[in-house]
């Protein structure tokens, strides 16, 4: 018999219940006649506090609140991919069917379609011993992903019964497991898991493989590892969302979980439309087929916004358990932090920095630590990478959310306003950004790309750093008075900035660039730099070098050399040699 209690007070998304209700912390409840979904967030002897995931307009003291007995959890099973959910895993498509263009309240919809029959291939036999995580059945969920249903983590025993291959719904038992204490537990395709508890794993591997994104400034200069964490902070209009979209589209993760947390409705619509048309370059299938969207737009209830991040990471962990590499785009974690602040304010908790609750840092760390390259309970290897956008107030990185996030992520891609104003995209600033994964990934780069890769990358960064210190002087006295070797640094840095760092997301070739081409581009720029240096050392003035069109030619390599024809770089090398000879001949 479910426990019930009576509403005593209502304040925005927070409601108070009278007396010792016997509810549990984090338990899911239904409030009022409309059965609004809520979660218990604090318990006292004389009062229980509940946050409600929907608008509380119309709730009255005296209405009943029913406890469900379960912690707030998500349903995990086939049907998650190619779908869009709200912050507590209610499918928006189904809601639209029931309530039209607006999202009304108290909608009772199933997270996953309970009637759809999935063609299931059972991979275990009676008599086999199974434990948490053992794969029992395979279902082709979308054209790109085979869904592997597993024994729930807290269950182990011996299979006593299986069904033959065929079509089953997510609620039909696939196998029956007899546990050590003699109980017989049916297991079906779907299972539930509380969103605030990380799914267990066997152990954690150190980062060793990069999450390739096809974006030069990320892959080459500031790479993120599979299972890594990155923060993308930037003021409004600097391209956080664009960066996340690009990674979601082109990264070599198997599955993308895109969390639109307190962001714009039109942006989610755009992802939905665009990903429904674009194809994954690696498999040729629709991008949506490997994507799950969680949309809790800024005008949707604030408590569900707080939950959406956890819902997203739980879905990601579930697919990781199957052995997939999952990448989470959380756009934006600042909205989540603000939701925390808003709820904390309603609870009249003592605020810490800038009104944020004191537990902001511990919540952030708990979230980012759910990422990682893991050995799962069933022995497979899978990873969850988290890329969180941060929207600092006024673009000022010293605010609490950015600062606390910086403590828990190992990759920092700082977006810069002045670059965005000059429409230099991606506006990731090479001086403020960093990645701690470079040393972890050095071996991979050496083996898979080239032994020279890391060295080249450091040289490119050195040129950019040198440029920035020279620019201090130029700002004071102009560039004309610089000696030629320093002028050359400025020119080469310009080539790096325009030809390498700037990347056009709307250009079919340039939007995603393979590692091989990224490396060859670096090589040719550095080779060119070396030749120019030789010329300058021989006393050739910069003006002579500049009169050749080779600078512009190298800048437009990104457009002119197709991604699949790296052999064309030989011609560029020859061009640089010709340029060298030319200059020598003309000025001999």
Partner 1 sequence: MPIEYLGLSEINGPLVVLEDVKNASYDEIVEFRMDHGERKLGRIVEIYEDRAVIQVFEGTENMSLQNTHTKLTGRPMEVDLSPDILGRTFNGIGEVIDGLGPIMPEARLNINGLPLNPVTREYPRNYICTGISAIDGLTTLIRGQKLPIFSGNGLPHDQLAAQIVQQASLGGSGDEKFAIVFAAMGVKYDVAEFFRRTFEESGVSDHVVMYLNLANDPVVERLITPKVALTAAEYLAFEQGMHILVILTDITSFAEAMREVSSSKGEIPSRKGYPGYLYSELATLYERAGIVRGGEGSVTQIPILTMPNDDITHPIPDLTGYITEGQIVLDRTMHGQAIYPPINVLPSLSRLMKDGIGKGYTREDHQDVANQLFSCYAKVGDARALASVIGEDELSPLDKKYLEFGNAFEHDFVGQGPNENRTILETLDKGWELLRMIPREELDRIDTKILERYYPAESKE
Site for partner 1 in 439-498 (CB under 8 A): 474-480, 498
Rounded Cα gap, residues 566 and 267, in angstroms: 35
- HSE, CB side, 13 Å, CA atoms: give it for residue 160: 12
Q: Is 555 in the site for partner 1 (CB under 8 A)?
A: yes
Closer Cβ to partner 1, 104 or 161, answer by number: 104
Q: Is 513 in the site for partner 1 (CB under 8 A)?
A: no
Supply the minimum distance, in Å, between the C-beta of residue 557 and partner 1. 13
φ and ψ at residue 25, rounded to 5 degrees = -60, 145
3-state SS track over 451-479: CCHHHHHHHHHHHHHHHHHHHHHHHHHCC
Supply the minimum distance, in Å, between the C-beta of residue 44 and partner 1. 15
Rounded Cα gap, residues 343 and 13, in angstroms: 8
Rounded Cα gap, residues 4 and 243, in angstroms: 47
Answer for which of 152, 173, 345, 566 binds partner 1 (CB under 8 A) is: 345
Contacts of 290 (CB under 8 A, 6+ apart): 81, 142, 144, 145, 253, 254, 255, 256, 280, 283
Rounded Cα gap, residues 415 and 429, in angstroms: 6
Closer Cβ to partner 1, 155 or 554, answer by number: 554
Q: Is 58 in the site for partner 1 (CB under 8 A)?
A: yes
Q: Is 259 in the site for partner 1 (CB under 8 A)?
A: no
Cα of 573 vs its chain's centroid, Å: 38
Q: Is 95 in the site for partner 1 (CB under 8 A)?
A: yes
Closer Cβ to partner 1, 477 or 588, answer by number: 477
Q: Is 166 in the site for partner 1 (CB under 8 A)?
A: no
- Restricted to residues 292-321, the positions that interact with partner 1 (CB under 8 A) are 295, 297-300, 302
> Considering only CA atoms, which of 128, 118, 140 is closest in space to residue 175?
128
Q: Is 103 in the site for partner 1 (CB under 8 A)?
A: yes
# binding residues, partner 1 (CB under 8 A): 84
DSSP string, 478-544: -STTS-HHHHHHHHHHHHIIIIII---TTSTTTTS--HHHHHHHHHHHHHHHHHHHHHHHTT--HHH
Supply the minimum distance, in Å, between the C-beta of residue 267 and partner 1. 8
Q: State the binding string over 18-37 for partner 1 (x if CB under 8 A, else -).
A: x-------------------
* Stretch in the footprint of partner 1 (CB under 8 A) among 217-225, 232-240, 438-446, 573-581: 232-240
> Considering only CA atoms, which of 61, 16, 62, 60 is closest in space to residue 38?
16
Q: Burial, 398: exposed, middle or buried (Cβ in 10 Å; 0-12, 13-18, 19+)?
A: exposed
Q: Is 11 in the site for partner 1 (CB under 8 A)?
A: yes
- Restricted to residues 123-152, the positions that interact with partner 1 (CB under 8 A) are none
Q: State the binding string over 378-397 for partner 1 (x if CB under 8 A, else -).
A: -------------x-xxxx-
Supply the minimum distance, in Å, between the C-beta of residue 384 and partner 1. 24
Q: Is 195 in the site for partner 1 (CB under 8 A)?
A: no
Q: Is 55 in the site for partner 1 (CB under 8 A)?
A: yes
Dihedral of the alpha carbons of 400, 405, 408, 409, in degrees to the nearest 10: -150
Q: Is 543 in the site for partner 1 (CB under 8 A)?
A: no
Supply the minimum distance, in Å, between the C-beta of residue 339 and partner 1. 8
Closer Cβ to partner 1, 95 or 122, answer by number: 95
Supply the minimum distance, in Å, between the C-beta of residue 159 and partner 1. 40
Q: Is 93 in the site for partner 1 (CB under 8 A)?
A: yes
Q: Is 547 in the site for partner 1 (CB under 8 A)?
A: no
Ranges of beta strands (E only) in 332-448 are 372-375, 381-390, 411-412, 434-435
């Amino acid at each position: 018999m479910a426990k019930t209690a009576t509403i005593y007070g209502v304040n925005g998304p927070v409601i108070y219940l009278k007396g010792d209700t016997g509810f549990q912390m984090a338990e899911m409840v239904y409030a009022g006649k409309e059965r609004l979904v809520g979660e218990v967030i604090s318990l006292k002897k004389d009062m229980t506090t509940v946050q409600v995931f929907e608008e509380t307009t119309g709730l009255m003291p005296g209405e009943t609140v029913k406890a469900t007995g379960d912690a707030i959890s998500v349903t995990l099973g086939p049907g998650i991919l190619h779908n869009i959910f709200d912050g507590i895993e209610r499918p928006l498509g189904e809601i639209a069917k029931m309530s039209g263009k607006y999202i009304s309240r108290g909608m009772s919809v199933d997270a996953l379609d309970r009637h759809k029959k999935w063609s299931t291939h059972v991979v275990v036999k009676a008599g086999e011993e199974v434990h948490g995580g053992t794969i029992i059945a395979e279902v082709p969920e979308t054209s790109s992903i085979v869904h592997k249903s597993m024994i729930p983590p807290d269950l182990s025993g011996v299979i006593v019964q299986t069904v033959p291959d065929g079509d089953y719904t997510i609620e039909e038992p696939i196998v029956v497991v007899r546990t050590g204490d003699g109980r017989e537990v049916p297991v079906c395709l779907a299972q539930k898991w509380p969103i605030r508890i990380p799914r267990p794993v066997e152990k954690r591997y150190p980062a060793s493989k990069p999450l390739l994104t096809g974006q030069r400034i990320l892959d080459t200069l500031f790479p993120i590892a599979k299972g890594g964490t990155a923060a993308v902070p930037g003021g409004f209009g600097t391209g956080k969302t664009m960066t996340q979209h690009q990674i979601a589209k082109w990264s070599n993760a198997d599955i993308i979980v895109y969390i639109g947390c307190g962001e714009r409705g039109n942006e989610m619509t755009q992802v939905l439309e665009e990903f429904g048309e674009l194809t994954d370059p690696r498999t040729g299938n629709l991008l949506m087929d490997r994507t799950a969207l969680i949309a809790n737009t800024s005008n949707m209830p604030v408590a569900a916004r707080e939950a959406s991040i956890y819902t997203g990471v739980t879905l990601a962990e579930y697919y990781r358990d199957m052995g997939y590499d999952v990448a989470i785009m959380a756009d934006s974690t600042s909205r989540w932090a603000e939701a925390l602040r808003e709820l904390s304010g309603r609870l009249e908790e003592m605020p810490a920095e800038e009104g944020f609750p004191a537990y902001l840092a511990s919540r952030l760390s708990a979230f980012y630590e759910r990422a990682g390259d893991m050995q799962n309970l069933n022995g497979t290897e899978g990873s969850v990478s988290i890329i969180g956008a941060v929207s600092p107030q006024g673009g000022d990185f010293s605010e609490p959310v950015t600062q606390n996030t910086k403590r828990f992520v190992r990759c920092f891609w700082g977006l810069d306003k002045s670059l965005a104003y000059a429409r230099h995209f991606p506006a990731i600033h090479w001086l403020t950004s960093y990645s701690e994964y470079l040393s972890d990934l050095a071996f991979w780069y050496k083996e898979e790309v080239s032994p020279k890769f890391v060295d080249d990358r450091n040289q490119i960064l050195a040129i950019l750093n040198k440029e920035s210190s020279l620019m201090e002087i130029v700002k004071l006295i102009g560039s004309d008075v610089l000696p030629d070797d320093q002028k050359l640094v400025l020119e080469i840095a310009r080539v790096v900035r325009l030809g390498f760092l700037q990347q056009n997301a709307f250009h079919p070739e340039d939007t995603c660039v393979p590692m091989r081409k990224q490396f060859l581009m670096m090589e040719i720029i550095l080779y060119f730099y070396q030749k120019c240096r030789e010329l300058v050392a021989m006393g050739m003035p910069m003006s002579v070098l500049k009169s050749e069109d080779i600078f512009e030619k190298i800048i437009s390599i990104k457009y002119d050399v197709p991604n699949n024809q790296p052999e064309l770089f030989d011609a560029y090398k020859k061009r640089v040699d010709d340029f060298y000879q030319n200059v020598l001949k003309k000025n001999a």
